[in-house]
A and B are shown apart, each in its own frame.
Chain A
Amino acid sequence: MSAPTLLQLRGITKRFPGVVALSGVDFTVQAGEIHALLGENGAGKSTLIKVLTGVYAPDAGTISLAGTTIAPAAPKEAEQAGISTVYQEVNLISALSVAENITLGRQPGKFGFINGPAMRRRARAALARLELDCDVDAELGSLSVALQQMVAIARALDLRAQLLVLDEPTASLDEKEVAELFAVMRRLRGEGLGIVLVTHFLDQVYAVADRITVLRNGQLVGAYATAELSRLGLVGKMLGREVSDAAGRVAPGSGVEGSHREGDAALPGAVAAGDVVLAARGLSRRGAVQAVDLELRRGEVTGLAGLLGSGRTETARLLFGIDRADGGVITFKGAPVQFGAPRDAVRLGLAFCSEDRKSEGILPNLSVRENLILALQAKRGAWRPLARAEQQTLCAHYLAALRIKTADAETPIRNLSGGNQQKVLLARWLATQPEVILLDEPTRGIDVGARAEIEALIATLRADGLAVLLISSELEEIIRNCARVLVLRERKMAGEVTAGPELTTEGLMRRMAGTHGEFPALPAEADQ
């Protein structure tokens, strides 16, 4: 592209206590281009955006915009320099009018009085630039989320921005709204604006982005022209596996070969999969997932794979009654069930370990013992308390069985390491003797030793006849542990793979990337 370089980040490094979030990252955006910034969890996308918009100061590296070096120390300074950001959750005030929102903080007027007509004029001009026709006197909260998003963009552009950063702008939009947003983005690109798009949706990247920068583990993987990078290649770069497109062969030396499972013999204590315990048909929820079908069988580990934002966690939340489905049926042992809340699911013998251990798992100030017995006690109700001696027996059993390292059972759980906290949460569920356990990223953020122990525990659960759903972004982990893997892509089913030669990182990645034509779409598979 011959367009002038608008934004140039060089050698950006940002450290947080204990982690290097960004390490020597370069990032370049040209004027008049839409540039997608991609990466999985922990890749450093949000840190990079925050450095760019002045929320964080980088520990090393330089930022230059249109040839001038800038060092924004606050979001306001970045805005004044010409970098405007629209965040995922609309940062506007829903009780104010559209015009007030667009001009908030810089309303025209004097002596402390606002010039209403001038304010409305300015707001109308800002909306006209996006070719939006909307009543500037309407209360913002009365508009659809999509329109609110447009108003946020209009507000950002009112500042004579040169660079527009859109952080997951489509997360809450439907297809038609996404198309409208893209039209606006293309228009702004035509005006010479540089646009940085952060998204999880590969379809959208290929629909609108000119170039792509991929980050992984805080490092730059590379910058590519969209037209020259295949979907599979892109997913490979995001996950850190080189794959060759042409033959679908694994690139030599990538270590992928070794991860292919060598038959069921590799699984200790393998038993034949039994009856279906929990099943879902056409499970849907607007903005979460569309028409997901799955079956969890006794004594079998089913994997759920997909990129970040593909609907993995959303599926588990629907199965566990945390969110209400708008469509589809869930059956437990053949009988349809409706869970109004997690406790209904727990009563039937379901368990769910959330990926967000800190905010959805542990009770930080309560003791290991209290954390461990909570689910069982909740199942029994307040009037049938576990005697102290029973509690101690349970704790002693699980502390030993899962090798949980803690000073004693009365230590607050927040003092434990992540891996040990995770084991306590697993113990919390095992104490309820569940029939189905949904594990969402059970090994995220824990050390290698604990990780191996948790995988061994999953094998034991399977051997004990539990139906296990394993959600993981680590494909090797899925392949090592699962007999069947369901792949989600952009909130829809993208295929199901059973253990065998097909179950390889490559086979999963193809489905995650949506490389068309190489495998039948799922409905056909399901019918066979």
Chain B
Amino acid sequence: MKSRSTLPWLLAGLALLIGLNLVANPAFLKITVQDGHLFGVPVDILTQGSRTMLLALGLTLVIATGGVDLSVGSVVAITGAVCALMLNTGAGLAATVAAAVGAGALAGGGNGLLVARIGIQPIVATLILMVAGRGIAQLLCGGQVLIIANPAFEFLANGFVLGVPVAPLLVVALFVGTHAFVRRTAAGLFIEAVGDNETASRFAGLAAARVKALAYVFCGACAGFTGVLTAANIRAADANRAGENAELDAIFAVVVGGTALTGGRLSIMGTFLGAILIQTLATTMYYRGVPPAVAPVPKALLILAVSLLQSEQLRSRVAALWRRKEAAS
């Protein structure tokens, strides 16, 4: 069936990476309790990877409709600025988070309008906000890095509940909720239908444009919440650096997870594992002391390897070669 065929490859890649790490450092998977908090590399991976995961979650739905959203990194910067402004004018935590997520959803709505109603190519439509978004964030910040000093806000990114870090807890909950939403309602079918053949879906009575637009709204809202986590993590709103290039890692996670860039296939579970894989690699390089300048190379190789493993064409060719060998012997 659909996503089932790519998950084993993803798990195999993850196992291989963890295996290599275990050889170099037998304590790689060890989790200890220090000061009542969970501690260890896996906890680090989840905490550090939570923001990429969240962006990737939103992007999964957009990419499954056959689109893409390049603006999520800029939306992170905008909503970070929204958080700083709200908190600095004395707004409460709930109002701040709601405003940031709302701003993200609004940005996504703009993208959705351009793509679904006006018919602009997704890559171009979202590029507009990707470029303009940084400017909007700068404007909101007044050209400065706004410092946030609010312990409750900071708790969202760096706090612990019963020893478990809050950020990954929230993100995992969102993954579970989204998975239930797309599979327990018909939303998943509608998204995949629109991504597979938009015209046919419309002719079958689907509001294809609305499905697409709502996917962008959801993606924007996810980016909005990522902006909250980012600002809480660094305790500041940085219009230039927040979410910089984050869209690329998130797209990698989605594609590696088995959601096809051509649309029509959706795997929330795959995206989760894809994001874990990418973060595990990043963490590995950090622990191995790979200089940041070189770090993109292993990442690129990993993405290439996973993409090749997932390529049906390559697999069938290898299988054909294998058969020929067997026939010859």
Contact = CB atoms under 8 A, between A and B. Distances in A.
Interface of A: 320, 322, 341-343, 345-347, 352, 354, 359-367, 370, 373-375, 377-386, 410, 428, 432
Contact of A342 (B2, B192, B205): B205
B185 A342 contact: no
B199 A374 contact: no
Contacts of B207: 341, 343
Given A365-B265, A366-B196, A410-B1, A341 B202 contact: yes
Given A342-B202, A361-B200, 18 more contacts: A322-B203, A341-B202, A343-B205, A346-B204, A346-B205, A354-B200, A360-B200, A363-B201, A365-B196, A365-B264, A366-B196, A374-B193, A374-B206, A379-B205, A380-B186, A382-B190, A385-B185, A432-B205
24 contacts: A320-B203, A322-B203, A341-B202, A342-B203, A342-B205, A359-B199, A360-B203, A362-B197, A365-B265, A366-B264, A370-B189, A370-B192, A374-B201, A374-B204, A375-B204, A377-B190, A378-B204, A378-B205, A378-B206, A379-B205, A382-B185, A382-B186, A385-B189, A386-B186
A295 to B, nearest CB: 24
Contact of A366 (B186, B193, B202, B205): B193
B285 to A, nearest CB: 36
Q: Most chain-A Cβ atoms within 10 A of its Cβ — which of B1, B205, B264?
A: B205
Contacts of B201: 363, 374, 378
Contacts, number: 86
A375 B205 contact: yes
B49 to A, nearest CB: 30
Contacts of A380: 186
B184 interface: yes
Nearest to A343: B205
B120 interface: no
A384 B197 CA distance: 22
Contacts of B190: 377-378, 382
A33 to B, nearest CB: 41
Q: Most chain-B Cβ atoms within 10 A of its Cβ — which of A360, A384, A386?
A: A360
Interface in B150-209: 184-187, 189-190, 192-193, 196-197, 199-207
Given A370-B189, A377-B189, A380-B186, A343 B200 contact: no
Interface string B32-47: 0000000000000000
Nearest to B214: A382
Q: Report the 7 A-B pairs with minimum CB-CB distance, sorted nearest first.
A: A346-B205, A378-B205, A363-B196, A385-B186, A343-B205, A375-B204, A378-B206
Nearest to A380: B186
B205 A370 contact: no
Contacts of B192: 363, 366, 370
Contacts of B2: 365, 367
Contacts of A361: 200, 203
